[in-house]
Amino acid sequence: MSEQSENKNWEVIQAIWVKRLFVLSFVMMGVTVLLHGIGVFQLLDGSEAKQSPVSAGGLRCDVPVWDFGGIDSVRNPRLSHEFVLVNESNKTVSIRRVHSSCGCMVADDYDRELPPGGSTTLRVELQPPTVPQRIRYDLEVQTGTGILPLEVRGEIIPNSSYVSVPTVINFGTIQPGETKERSVRIVRYAFSPIHLSRAECDLPGIKGEFVSISAHETKLVVVFNADLQEQPRRIETALYLFSADKVEPELRIPVRAILSVDREQ
């Protein structure tokens, strides 16, 4: 009877541990899914792990996808990466064209003719956007017999820099003596407070005034009084915004206009 009781107790203990291990495995699986969902397992400084080579048009690329990870596009306004292309055929391969899905990304500096077994580096330069977002751009390397697909990814992260929306103040065509007004939004995508103190322009007649919208956004109203005879017909200048912020003390906004000239004068 004692032996039966002991066996029964052991079965109970086993059942308890089986339940605990099941619960633990279920929790670990949930944590793993969650971490993948928030991107913990994604590489932040370029990804070349667990990629399958792609082949097309006689070319092969072992790492066809490049992830820049977190990008501070204000401090890093231009990024670059080099894809390695290999001719895996037994004939010379001619690269006829490299097409980008975005005008902000260009590809150059590569050999147009690759002998059998030869290789070249395709240098890609990217001008990332300033607005926080996930980016993905495609490249198509076109040869005489196919198209090799490549891809560039990244995550534009919020930063404390000042950004104007739009980035350029364009008054268009303006008559001598005419007054025009334009406005831009000044934001910080890191949602830190804005402390702009003054706006200055090298060209007389252009003045800016700040209108506070919130602690994280300000509107700049710019007035151009073209009442000067010495102004050139095509105006290319800039408005400088100054801040008490030691990290980002200044923002430069290009200003453009075309001064209309009376043909009879």
Answer whether residue 227 shows pLDDT above 80: no
Show which of 97, 121, 156 is a domain's final residue: 156
- Residue 105's pLDDT is 94
Q: What band does 40 get if pLDDT is binned at 50, 70 and 90?
A: very low
Q: Give the domain range for residue 9.
A: 1-41
My answer on whether 200 and 169 are in the same domain is yes
Same domain, 30 and 106: no
Q: Is residue 265 one of the residues assigned to a domain?
A: no
Query: Residue 216's pLDDT band (boundaries 50, 70, 90)?
Result: confident
Q: How confident is the model at residue 22 (pLDDT cuts 50, 70, 90)?
A: very low
Burial classification of residue 79, based on how many CB atoms lie within 10 Å of its CB (0-12 exposed, 13-18 middle, 19 or more buried): middle
> pLDDT tens digits for 110-124?
999 999 999 999 999
Does a structural domain hold residue 47? no
Q: Are residues 63 and 141 in the same domain?
A: yes
Q: Does residue 262 register a pLDDT over 80?
A: no
186, pLDDT greater than 70:
yes
Q: Are residues 18 and 59 in the same domain?
A: no
Check: CB of residue 186 under 8 Å from CB of residue 164.
Answer: yes
Average pLDDT, the chain: 80
User: Which of 136, 119, 137, 135 lies closest to 61 in space, CA to CA?
Assistant: 119
- Beta-carbon contacts of residue 54 (< 8 Å; ≥ 6 apart): 60, 61, 64, 148, 149, 150
Do 193 and 133 lie in a common domain? no
Same domain, 84 and 110: yes
Is residue 224 one of the residues assigned to a domain? yes
Our count of domains for the chain comes to 3
- Whether residue 130 is predicted with pLDDT greater than 90 in this model: the reply is no
Query: 124 and 33, same structural domain?
Result: no
**Do 63 and 16 share a structural domain?**
no
Assigned domain for 94 exists: yes
